[in-house]
Amino acid sequence: MQGGDQAGSRDPRDPREPVDPRADASFHGHLFDGDASAASAEGVGFVRERFQSREIAQVLSHYDLGVIREIREYRRGSRRAAKLKISADAGNFLLKRRALGRSLERDRERAAAGHAVQQRAAAGGVPVAGLVPLRSGGTLLQFGDRLYELHAWVQGERYERHAEQARSGGTGLARMHAAFARLQLLEELPQGGFTDIDGVRHALDLGAQRAIERTPAEGQQRLAASLDALRAHVDRVEAKLAVKGLTLQPSAICHGDFHPGNTLWSGDHLVAVIDFDSVRYEAIAAEVANAMLQFSVRHRKGEDPLRWPIGLVSENLRGFAAGYAGESAAPTRVMAPFIPWLMLSAIVAEAASPIARDGDFAGIPAEPFLCATVQMMDWIAERTRAISATLEV
């Protein structure tokens, strides 16, 4: 696989604006959809954005690339963001037209902040797909009412779920957090994520409504049982995080979407972290919890979620934790008690938001999918102490 942005990237949550997952996803659905379905997590009927020929020529004229030798559509990642692979005298590049948000001004502010964060990551030794400057300077192009960015092309492979890869992923995230700590505050960045239990519960309520509407009569009783179990998990997560003092944990700049699909590899070596579209202020424990979950979840194949393996790969979980702890500037034992509970919050959010928007999960009916979600949460809830212990070093 070659570099670019990966499936499911979406605009982050903005506390100053109301969010409805049916229109604008607050969370990122990567935990379940890697191989579960050929359909995109953005909806079966969603039409992929594409460039127009004249638009391509006008946009590329703002860059100093020399002779353009080949232009090919790049059909990976968010369907809302059109992408092209460009081969030119100056090398290979990925041209991206950013997805439309609520307003051009806010889109521009967020994009500029994301570029600043990516550049800081690169300066801190984190491998990234570098941003290519415009002839006029800067890295963000506004052409008409759309925003564009050009990235250096990175050759890399998919995450193969090796324990050493998981360790490298943890090391990369810790180095990225250290680099971000040296950034001045960026008011343009949104706040929120899996620590926002009210937001998670809101997404679940909307998802439940859509699931009930779309589930046949014979599945309603099973669906009701799954929804009751999910709500009970959310209530317990909220209580545990409150008792453990999550509100006292400071927020910091986070990547916002650090998962295997946003990494590129050469063997066990991390060659690039990509897609900085979702950078935000969040408790670092939330980003670490979600990343540990994503890098250690068991491989899921097929379209029947009730046949998916349940649980996490312990070697990958320990590997990621060791990699992060080995590079973290702060002692990870402080965040350790929050990790399993934030994992559970992430699972609910990532399951509920696509269903709230589409009525299903990438074409998979909501009822069996939510049943599988409960099974995963039950597995983690039974092992919270062991999961926390991986970071108590």
Asked if pLDDT for residue 35 goes beyond 80, the answer is no
Which pLDDT tens digit goes with each residue over 131-155?
Answer: 999 999 999 999 999 999 999 999 9
Band of residue 30 on the pLDDT scale cut at 50, 70, 90: low
Lowest mean pLDDT among 12-21, 98-107, 242-251, 377-386: 12-21
Query: Can you give the pLDDT at residue 301?
Result: 84
For the chain, the maximum distance between any two Cα atoms, rounded to a whole number of angstroms, is: 63
Give the separation between CA 62 and CA 32, rounded to whole angstroms. Answer: 39
b/e per residue 52-75 (b: at least 16 CB within 10 A): eeebbeebbeebebeebeebeebe
Query: Can you give the pLDDT at residue 43?
Result: 47
Residue 308 contacts residue 145 (beta carbons within 8 Å): no
Asked if pLDDT for residue 23 goes beyond 60, the answer is no
Query: Start-end ranges of CATH 3.90.1200.10 in the chain?
Result: 163-389
Query: Can you give the pLDDT at residue 10?
Result: 34
What's the whole-number mean pLDDT along residues 18-31? Answer: 42
Name the 3-class secondary structure at 150. Answer: strand
CA 145 to chain centre: 26
Please tell me which residue, 19 or 189, carries the higher pLDDT value: 189
Residue 192 contacts residue 342 (beta carbons within 8 Å): no
DSSP letters spanning 75-118: --S-TTSEEEEEEETTEEEEEEEPPP-S-HHHHHHHHHHHHHHH
Asked if pLDDT for residue 242 goes beyond 70, the answer is yes
Which pLDDT tens digit goes with each residue over 1-11?
Answer: 344 333 333 33
Please tell me which residue, 27 or 342, carries the higher pLDDT value: 342
Which pLDDT tens digit goes with each residue over 71-116?
Answer: 999 988 777 899 999 999 999 999 999 998 889 999 999 999 999 9
Query: Start-end ranges of CATH 3.30.200.20 in the chain?
Result: 53-98+101-152
Asked if pLDDT for residue 159 goes beyond 70, the answer is yes
Contacts of 336 by beta carbon, 8 Å cutoff, 6+ apart: 388, 389, 390, 391, 392
Query: Can you give the pLDDT at residue 143?
Result: 93
Which pLDDT tens digit goes with each residue over 165-183?
Answer: 999 999 999 999 999 988 8
What's the whole-number mean pLDDT along residues 341-367? Answer: 94
Query: Can you give the pLDDT at residue 393?
Result: 76
Lowest mean pLDDT among 44-48, 193-197, 367-371: 44-48
Q: Which fold has domain 53-98+101-152?
A: Phosphorylase Kinase; domain 1 (3.30.200)
Band of residue 188 on the pLDDT scale cut at 50, 70, 90: confident
Which CATH number is associated with domain 163-389?
3.90.1200.10
Query: Can you give the pLDDT at residue 316?
Result: 98
What's the whole-number mean pLDDT along residues 375-392? Answer: 97
Lowest mean pLDDT among 71-85, 278-292, 329-343: 71-85
SS (H, E, C) 181-230: CCCCCCCCCCECCCCCHHHHHHHHHHHHHHHHHHCCHHHHHHHHHHHHHH
Query: What are the structure tokens assigned to 136, written together?
Result: 């006029």
